[in-house]
Amino acid sequence: MKKVNLGVLISGGGSNLQSIIDHIESGRLDARIKVVISNAPGAGGLARAERHGLKHLVVNHRDFPSREDFDQRLVDILNENEVELVILAGFMRLFTGVLTGAFPGRIMNIHPALLPAFPGAHVWQTTVDYGVRFSGCTVHFVDQGTDTGPIIIQAVVPVLGDDDADTLAARILKQEHRIYPRAIQLYAEGRLKIEGRRVTVQPLDKSLDPDFLINPPLDN
Ligand code: GAR
């Protein structure tokens, strides 16, 4: 299987980066991380990249006069490193058409909610405060909007009565670590087809249990 070249953009701890690294190293993901870029100096994910011998660098957005200039620098580095698929893994910058235009249909993001619910920032607290019974995480292709692109895969978790933002975030993060490598593998296998807003996985999988999830559970 041909390996897909990844460029991973991070801003923080990089646990999703770690999961992608682990899946690659254990042979479960046909990908190669060509470069890890952080906009935040000192981001924990940089140390993870270092430990695994991956090329990593800081491109500090503060050093650029505009968002477009910052994005252009990212595009240049990604192209120099022959990146085919851009992975946003806890990358906390809004991007411009410079980035999305350079990699149309070739940027993925993970978001800690069931999009299109709860886009943007401060997601976990907003989710708990709203009182929804389920939340989860979404991997989607990136388009011009914030958290609006075609959805590839989602995982659902219950929101429990005594949850706070931290306990909910931890429950969701576990599932993030499972679905992001899966989405990338489906891409690597050439199985994702984007038609308008809909992404289909080829061949279609009929194994999903069609029963509903209910929370709180029914008596019987
Ligand atoms: C993850 O929960 C990810 O879904 C979220 O940031 C966290 C990064 O964790 N991303 C967003 O909120 C993007 N809008 P990590 O650095 O440990 O992978």
- Taking the C-alpha atoms of residue 75 and residue 65, their distance in angstroms, rounded to an integer, is 16
Alpha helices in 26-164 (DSSP H): 44-51, 67-80, 97-102, 123-130
Distance between Cα 66 and ligand 1 center (Å): 24
Residue 86's pLDDT is 98
Residue 208 above 80 pLDDT?
no
33, 51 in Cβ contact below 8 A? no
Q: Which of 173, 177, 180 to mutate to test the pocket of ligand 1 (most atoms within 8 A of CB)?
A: 173
Q: What is the mean pLDDT of the chain?
A: 95
Convert the pLDDT of each residue in 142-157 to its tens digit.
999 999 999 999 999 9
- Taking the C-alpha atoms of residue 12 and residue 22, their distance in angstroms, rounded to an integer, is 18
Distance between Cα 44 and ligand 1 center (Å): 12
